[in-house]
Amino acid sequence: MKKGNGDKMTDNTKRENGQYFTKGNCFKLLPFIEWFESIPNHKTITIIEPFAGNGNVPSLMKEAGYNNIWKLYDIAPQNNNTGRKHFSSIMVSLR
């Protein structure tokens, strides 16, 4: 059954593909802030998101005040800013 908000994929397809879109903003919580800010050069690193979905994570990070550069990938991209790649091929290209 399709969702009423115009999603292209059904709930079952999302579940089968392991697609769980981030809701709420966990990046404003103290445990994340302390962890992320403990990373050297955390303000200037490029972040690779191998399960980008519809791009919620980078949007939520920006909303929380982080302006990192992102490289977005997904096996079923949900927008034009996301490249189509499987996680394993991203890991191989990083070596």
Query: Rounded CA gap, 56 and 23, in Å?
Result: 8
For residue 40, tell me if it sits in a domain. Answer: yes
Starting at the earlier edge strand, list the strands of the sheet with 83-84: 46-49, 69-74, 83-84
Mean pLDDT throughout 55-73?
A: 91
Task: Note the pTM of the prediction, 2 decimals.
Answer: 0.62
For residue 16, tell me if it sits in a domain. Answer: no
More confident residue, 16 or 66: 66
For residue 65, tell me if it sits in a domain. Answer: yes
Question: How many separate domains does the chain show?
Answer: 1
The boundaries of the domain holding residue 44 are 28-94
Q: Which two tokens stand for residue 76?
A: 């079923």
For residue 67, tell me if it sits in a domain. Answer: yes
Alpha carbon of residue 95 to chain centroid: 21
